A and B are shown apart, each in its own frame.
Chain A
């Protein structure tokens, strides 16, 4: 059972980045997926959630209108399209599996670093 994030990097303010999370070892369509971020030296911040069939999608107020979460159940992947990036979006972004809206995030990736700086 594994989640592997990719797509992080350095981007200028106002720029865009697309993060991906590849899943393996479990029945992907049975789980919701979340993105959680952690700014350097700070606590955890939930970013977005997508249900198994993409019927339910939620965003934190801090990213609403700028970030878009999506999933490809055929490829066992979830993506986070990040537009209009700001300096305060700088963080490690984790992908986390959630058991059916229960709030239980039981599998986490190792994270990918996003740095927004001029």
Chain B
């Protein structure tokens, strides 16, 4: 059972904006960097955002990340049909022992 909570699904029309929340706690998001991953159908996950708000080379600036307290948010603007995918947040959790945790995942649908 994941300790990071995301909405199961979000949707919007092409060109619109969506945001995905990731809610955690003081032992994970509260003290560690958050990454976001995109998983297109039938493929391996791909790093989208790291260190809360940085984009790897090649990731368009339509994708953005932010963090406040024990929550993080992924934003996607100018939504495209190719953005239809599952999105996961992830971070280290250092409560009792170190372990990495992923969010529950959010399915983005382009209407």
Residues of A within 8 A of B (CB): 34, 36, 43-46, 49, 56, 58-61, 94, 96, 99, 101-106, 108-111
CA of A100 to CA of B91, assembled, Å: 13
Do A104 and B101 have beta carbons less than 8 Å apart? no
Among candidates B45, B92, B97, B102, residue contacting A108 with C-beta atoms closer than 8 Å:
B45
Complex contact B56–A44 (CB within 8 A): no
The 5 nearest A-B residue pairs measured at CB:
A46-B100, A104-B50, A43-B105, A44-B102, A108-B44
**Would you give the shortest CB distance from A58 to chain B, in whole angstroms?**
5
Interface size, chain B (Cβ < 8 Å): 29
The residue from B39, B44, B56 contacting A110, defined by CB atoms under 8 A apart: B44
**Do the beta carbons of A94 and B100 come within 8 Å of each other?**
no
Residue of A nearest to B44 (CB): A108
Nearest neighbor of A45 in chain B, beta-carbon distance: B102
Q: Residues of B contacting A34 with CB < 8 Å?
A: 100
Contacts of B34 in A (CB 8 A): 103
Which of B39, B102, B104, B105 is the one whose CB lies under 8 Å from A46? B102
In the bound assembly, the distance between CA atoms of A105 and B47 in angstroms comes to 7
- A56 — nearest CB in chain B belongs to which residue? B98
Q: Is B111 an interface residue (CB 8 A)?
A: no
Contacts A104-B51, A105-B35, A108-B45 given; does A43 touch B91 at CB 8 Å: no
* Shortest Cβ gap from B23 to chain A (Å): 15
In the assembled complex, the Cα of A61 lies from the Cα of B1 at a distance in Å of: 11
Least CB distance from B57 to A in Å reads 10
Q: Are A103 and B35 in contact (CB under 8 A)?
A: yes
- Nearest CB in chain A: distance from B88 CB, A: 5
From residue B6, how far is it (CB to closest CB) to chain A in Å?
A: 9
